[in-house]
Amino acid sequence: VTEGPLLLVVEDEPQMRKFLRASLRANGYRLVEAETGEEGLRHAAAYNPDIVLLDLGLPDLDGQRVVERLREWSGVPIVVVSARGREEDKVAALDAGADDYLTKPFSAGELLARLRVALRHRDHVRAAPDAIVVNGDLKVDLVKRLVFVRDREIRLTPTEYKLLGVLVKNIGKVLTHRAILAEVWGPSYAGQTQYLRVYMGQLRQKLEDDPSKPRFLLTEPGVGYRMRELAVP
Ligand code: CA
């Protein structure tokens, strides 16, 4: 019998833990639970979980602080959970090194999909990087620096290519404005969200069939962007 992934839940609300227990155990996850940030950090060290689901509204520690402290010694995938309307909490946690987020209330299906992406991304990062990334009918040859949609070559400017490169190396994962700007333009540009909006618009014009209904380049309102993971045709 293969053991399912071990998930550490850090959540102070008993009702929420009950919901998580029911949805996750039924889908093969093993669970360790913590009710506070400090307990979560202790459990993360003691159990070495495969993934952490972290509520940002905890009684003792700021969720962002928990992410920062975990990231001092661990690369474990972290999915944060926040209340609706608290975009700044999500963004701070993502900038501190969280991998993804869910907004309460969410369905079991949504939760499982996010966890699958985070686990797959971790396995992908551990493996050797692929020279050619394929996502749906988008193909990026990272060695030759060539981009194709349905085998038609797409000409990109160096900055557009750099931006696309950051996104395809993080397929399925949300990236904050700050993280993308720092990576593509450099840390001193981390606040220049208008640059990003302009270049993202250009990339959509070139890659999407209908730039107003993007298939690849999704906007995460108030947070950043995500390259949607698509099945390879
Ligand atoms: Ca809470």
pLDDT value of residue 125 = 61
Residue 161 backbone phi and psi in degrees, to 5? -65, -40
Query: Measured in angstroms, how far is the CA atom of residue 76 from the centroid of ligand 1?
Result: 21
Query: Measured in angstroms, how far is the CA atom of residue 230 from the centroid of ligand 1?
Result: 33
Query: Measured in angstroms, how far is the CA atom of residue 14 from the centroid of ligand 1?
Result: 9
Question: Does residue 77 have a cis bond before it (omega within 30 degrees)?
Answer: no
Query: Measured in angstroms, how far is the CA atom of residue 40 from the centroid of ligand 1?
Result: 13
d(CA 122, CA 84) in angstroms, rounded, equals: 27
Confidence bin at 143 (pLDDT 50/70/90): confident
Q: Please provide the average confidence, as pLDDT, over all residues in the chain.
A: 92
pLDDT value of residue 126 = 60
Query: Measured in angstroms, how far is the CA atom of residue 13 from the centroid of ligand 1?
Result: 6
Query: Measured in angstroms, how far is the CA atom of residue 82 from the centroid of ligand 1?
Result: 8
Query: Measured in angstroms, how far is the CA atom of residue 64 from the centroid of ligand 1?
Result: 13
Is pLDDT of 25 > 70? yes
pLDDT value of residue 128 = 59
Is pLDDT of 111 > 90? yes
Query: Measured in angstroms, how far is the CA atom of residue 60 from the centroid of ligand 1?
Result: 10
Is pLDDT of 1 > 60? no
Is pLDDT of 178 > 90? yes
Query: Measured in angstroms, how far is the CA atom of residue 44 from the centroid of ligand 1?
Result: 18
Query: Measured in angstroms, how far is the CA atom of residue 10 from the centroid of ligand 1?
Result: 9
The 10s digit of each residue's pLDDT in 46-83 is 999 999 999 999 999 988 999 999 998 898 999 999 98
pLDDT value of residue 142 = 86
Query: Measured in angstroms, how far is the CA atom of residue 101 from the centroid of ligand 1?
Result: 14
Angle between helix 177-184 and 193-207 (nearest 10):
80
Query: Measured in angstroms, how far is the CA atom of residue 218 from the centroid of ligand 1?
Result: 28
Is pLDDT of 130 > 80? no
- CB-based burial of residue 29 (10 Å sphere; 0-12 exposed, 13-18 middle, 19+ buried)? buried
Bridging pattern class, strands 217-220 and 224-227? antiparallel
Query: Measured in angstroms, how far is the CA atom of residue 53 from the centroid of ligand 1?
Result: 12
The 10s digit of each residue's pLDDT in 198-221 is 999 999 999 999 999 999 999 999
